């Protein structure tokens, strides 16, 4: 088998960044220099990203980031690929590295007990343990841990209004999990703040558990935020749990509806993809905003002349004047 030439990196780190906008510019330029593509969020509370690039370029990136004392605890989740997993580079400065609006929560001060994948595997099936999925609806619809509690949420901002659904588990050991671990840093801290005493989190998330422990008992696929859309993580006892949105048959073919207005994230089997021309309903199929569809059901945003060097101009000008 031919060796794959690219890495896909997933990572985050809660740490203090004094000047997020300046760091964003410098980090943006670093990624340009290394020919990396992907999405990175910078905030005063830390760094969150997923990028792809040639293996040598990704290794340089990891070495440079880890050499910064602020990111010495950062862990990279690494997957291999035949090509880039993104169309462009987007490095943004925001108020938070994961949206929550939990103003009193600081993962650097208080969070749930981190469980390494091997520890999680031993603990997850005990009688006094409950697993809680902290991801969005469309993510856990295609895959989740066996027996896990899922919440009807679009993002972490919705967690407070769903807390009543978790009240019955206050006397249990609650283990939160998400894709890479970042949401659980805040979610587990929020649970502690609301009176839950025995709170844990899967360190490194589903992705790390799949890499280190084979993904046992993760049913379905794991939704990821790149061209792959969803990936297999369970090499031990895989099971498909999602159903075609159109006909209800078992399917893990995760797509976007071909109608640009709808753009629903859901599973649609290949038979229905052909019959419905990539759409999730007759209404979408007949919509004037339906795009040219494909069987992959993945439609990257139009670049519209996007120039990744545009955001680097100010930094280059400052360097030339210094």
**Confidence (pLDDT) at 322:** 47
321 in a structural domain? no
- Say if CB 132 and CB 153 are below 8 A apart: no
- Say if CB 206 and CB 177 are below 8 A apart: yes
22 in a structural domain? yes
> 265 and 213: one domain?
no
302 in a structural domain? no
What is the 3-class SS of the chain, one letter each residue? CCCCCEEEEEEEEECCCCCHHHHHHHHHHHHHHCCCEEEEEEECCEEEEEEEEEHHHHHHHHHHHHHCHHHCCCCCEEEEECCCCCCCEEEEECCCCCCCCCCCCCCCCCCCEEECHHHHHHHCCCCCEEEEECCCHHHHCCEEECCCEECCCCCHHHHHHHHHHCHHHCCCEEEEECCCCHHHHHHHHHHHHCCCCCEEEECCHHHHHHHHHCCCCEEECEECCCCCCEECCCCCCCCCCCECCCCCCECCCEEECCECCCCCEEECCHHHHHHCCCCCCHHHHCCCCECCCCCCCCCCCCCCCCCCCHHHHHHHHHHHHC
> 166 and 196: one domain?
yes
108 in a structural domain? no
Q: Which of 12, 91, 86, 77 is nearest to 222 (CA)?
A: 77
Spatial separation of the C-alpha atoms in residues 300 and 147, rounded to whole Å: 34
Spatial separation of the C-alpha atoms in residues 254 and 230, rounded to whole Å: 7
> 201 and 118: one domain?
yes
The pLDDT tens digits along the chain (322 residues) read: 789 999 999 999 999 999 999 999 999 999 999 999 999 999 999 999 999 999 999 999 999 999 999 999 999 999 999 999 999 999 999 999 998 989 889 998 999 999 999 999 999 999 999 999 999 999 999 999 999 999 999 999 999 999 999 999 999 999 999 999 999 999 999 999 999 999 999 999 999 999 999 999 999 999 998 988 899 999 999 999 999 999 999 999 999 999 999 999 899 999 999 999 999 999 999 999 999 999 999 887 665 555 666 656 555 544 555 4
**Confidence (pLDDT) at 307:** 61
Q: Kindly give the pairing relationship between strand 46-54 and strand 6-14.
A: antiparallel
Domain carrying residue 166: 113-220
> 86 and 54: one domain?
yes
Spatial separation of the C-alpha atoms in residues 91 and 28, rounded to whole Å: 6
**Confidence (pLDDT) at 103:** 83
Q: Which residues are within 8 A (CB) of 34 and not within 5 positions of it... i.e. 6 or more apart?
A: 53, 57, 58, 60, 61
Q: Which of 97, 123, 156 is the last residue of a domain?
A: 97
- Say if CB 80 and CB 7 are below 8 A apart: yes
Spatial separation of the C-alpha atoms in residues 187 and 153, rounded to whole Å: 13
> 34 and 89: one domain?
yes
Spatial separation of the C-alpha atoms in residues 241 and 264, rounded to whole Å: 18
> 39 and 82: one domain?
yes
Q: At 39, list the tokens.
A: 């999405």
Q: Which of 39, 64, 97 is the last residue of a domain?
A: 97
319 in a structural domain? no
CATH of the domain at 169: 3.40.250.10
- Say if CB 295 and CB 279 are below 8 A apart: no
> 129 and 197: one domain?
yes
189 in a structural domain? yes
**In total, how many domains does the chain have?**
3
Spatial separation of the C-alpha atoms in residues 193 and 189, rounded to whole Å: 6
225 in a structural domain? no
**Confidence (pLDDT) at 101:** 87
CATH of the domain at 73: 3.30.70.100
Spatial separation of the C-alpha atoms in residues 178 and 194, rounded to whole Å: 20
Spatial separation of the C-alpha atoms in residues 185 and 114, rounded to whole Å: 9
> 195 and 248: one domain?
no
27 in a structural domain? yes
- Say if CB 220 and CB 252 are below 8 A apart: yes
Tell me whether residue 178 is one of the annotated catalytic residues.
yes
> 198 and 134: one domain?
yes
> 74 and 124: one domain?
no
Active-site annotation holder among 13, 31, 58, 178:
178
> 182 and 276: one domain?
no
**Confidence (pLDDT) at 227:** 87
């Amino acid at each position: 088998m031919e060796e794959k030439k690219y890495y896909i990196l997933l990572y985050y780190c809660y740490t203090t960044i004094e000047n997020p906008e300046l760091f964003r510019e410098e980090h943006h330029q670093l990624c340009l220099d290394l020919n990396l593509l992907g999405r990175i969020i910078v905030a005063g509370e830390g760094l969150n990203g997923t990028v792809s690039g040639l293996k040598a370029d990704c290794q340089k990136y990891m070495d440079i980031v880890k050499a910064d004392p602020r990111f010495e605890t950062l862990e990279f989740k690494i997957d291999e690929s035949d090509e880039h997993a993104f169309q462009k580079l987007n490095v943004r400065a925001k108020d938070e590295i994961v949206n929550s609006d939990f103003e009193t929560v600081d993962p650097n001060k208080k969070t749930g007990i981190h469980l390494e994948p091997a520890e999680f595997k031993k603990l997850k099936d005990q009688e006094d343990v409950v697993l809680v999925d902290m991801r969005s609806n469309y993510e856990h619809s295609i895959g989740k841990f066996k027996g896990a509690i899922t919440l009807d949420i679009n993002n972490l901002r919705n967690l407070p209004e769903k807390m009543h659904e978790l009240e019955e588990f206050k006397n249990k050991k609650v283990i939160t999990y998400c894709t890479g671990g970042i949401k659980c840093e805040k979610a587990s801290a929020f649970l502690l703040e609301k009176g839950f005493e025995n709170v844990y989190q899967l360190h490194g998330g589903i992705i790390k558990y799949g890499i280190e422990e084979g993904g046992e008992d993760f049913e379905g696929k794991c939704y990821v935020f790149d061209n792959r859309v969803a990936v297999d993580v369970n090499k031990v006892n895989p099971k498909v749990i999602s159903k075609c949105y159109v006909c209800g048959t078992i399917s893990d073919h995760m797509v976007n509806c071909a109608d640009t207005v709808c753009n629903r994230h859901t599973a649609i089997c290949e038979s229905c993809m052909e019959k419905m021309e990539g759409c999730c309903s007759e209404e979408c199929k007949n919509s004037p905003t339906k795009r040219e569809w494909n069987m992959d059901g993945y439609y990257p945003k139009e670049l519209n002349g996007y120039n990744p060097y545009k955001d680097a101009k100010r930094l280059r000008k400052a360097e030339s004047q210094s």
